[in-house]
Amino acid sequence: MNDYIEEFRALLGQLSPEERDEAVDFYREYLQDGSYETYDDCIRELGTPHQLARKVLADYSIRTLEAPVSQQSRKQQPKNDVKTIWLIVLAILSTPVTIPLALGIAGLSIGVFAAALE
């Protein structure tokens, strides 16, 4: 079992030391609890060390990809809320200017169009 675990540990070089220790400790306890003593017993239960390492690395990469997205969306949420509030406030405050201006432009457009028809 120790040879299996050491080979497995060596294949987890891409993980941080904490993550590597966590994964190795988990599978060491799993094998001890199941009384898997020999290298062949371990392979029958978990596959080769290479297969197990690929599975663990894939699991950690999925966690890594999911974590920044959720953290990023949490950070952007307050910014989006503040931006929306400011846009609403500016729209309300600019209404006394924009409505007469829009009506003036519409009237001017109608006048120019009517003059062009005559």
14-51: pLDDT as tens digits: 888 898 899 999 989 988 888 888 888 888 888 899 99
Name the band, by pLDDT with cuts 50, 70 and 90, for residue 68.
low
Contact status, residue 9 vs residue 26, Cβ threshold 8 Å: no
Question: How many whole angstroms separate alpha carbon 117 and alpha carbon 95?
Answer: 33
Torsion 112-113-117-118 (CA) sign:
negative
Scanning 34-48, the segments in alpha helix (DSSP H) are 39-46
pLDDT at 74 over 80: no
9 pLDDT exceeds 80? Answer: yes
pLDDT score, position 102: 93
Question: What percent of the chain shows pLDDT beyond 90?
Answer: 31
